[in-house]
């Protein structure tokens, strides 16, 4: 099976990175820290700074989190290069994860924290504030699981059955 050189998928990751950085740039230039604007009864734009990872775990471990992001990004770039062209969903998922990881890595290195601003709550329940990079990472992980566990194994099973006939 012919391999894709990954440039298309790297460009997609770059687009996610640009959208994420542009949204954060807009937030820091139009909001004061902790300023919030309600858009819907359950959704607000709120400028906060996260010095940890998801859900503020590893708070204050900036260099460790940056190193992990660099390693993960390197592995994803390698996987994008090695994954066959036919596995579009898997490549798309890796691109989303890479773009999101690079967006948050940029924040950690440039600002010393990650800029979060998407704020969801229902009544007393409040989900931790997040950003576009976090969305891309979560969607990418979900698509990767879908492609790895559901879609491609079925194709491989079909190919094995066809060979047996």
Which sequence positions are flagged as catalytic? 116, 134
Contact status, residue 52 vs residue 73, Cβ threshold 8 Å: no
Q: What angle do CA 126, 128, 133 make, to 5 degrees?
A: 140
Counts of helices then strands in the chain (DSSP H, E): 5, 4
Nearest to 104 by CA among 76, 130, 142, 141: 130
Write out the H or E segment, with its range, that includes residue 100. helix 88-110
């Amino acid at each position: 099976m012919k391999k894709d050189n990954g440039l298309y998928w790297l460009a997609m990751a770059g687009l996610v990175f640009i959208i994420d950085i542009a949204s954060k740039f807009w937030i820091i230039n139009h909001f004061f820290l902790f300023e919030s604007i309600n858009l819907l009864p359950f959704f607000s734009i709120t400028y906060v700074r996260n010095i940890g990872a998801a859900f503020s775990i590893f708070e204050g471990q900036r260099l460790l989190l940056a190193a992990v992001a660099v390693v993960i990004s390197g592995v994803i770039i390698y996987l994008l290069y090695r994954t066959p062209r036919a596995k579009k969903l898997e490549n798309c998922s890796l691109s989303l994860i890479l773009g999101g990881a690079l967006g948050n890595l940029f924040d950690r290195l440039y600002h010393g924290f990650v800029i979060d601003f998407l704020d969801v709550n229902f009544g007393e329940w409040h989900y931790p504030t997040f950003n576009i990079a976090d969305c891309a990472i979560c969607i990418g992980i979900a698509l990767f699981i879908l492609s790895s566990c559901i879609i491609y194994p079925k194709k491989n099973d079909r190919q094995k059955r066809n060979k047996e006939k």
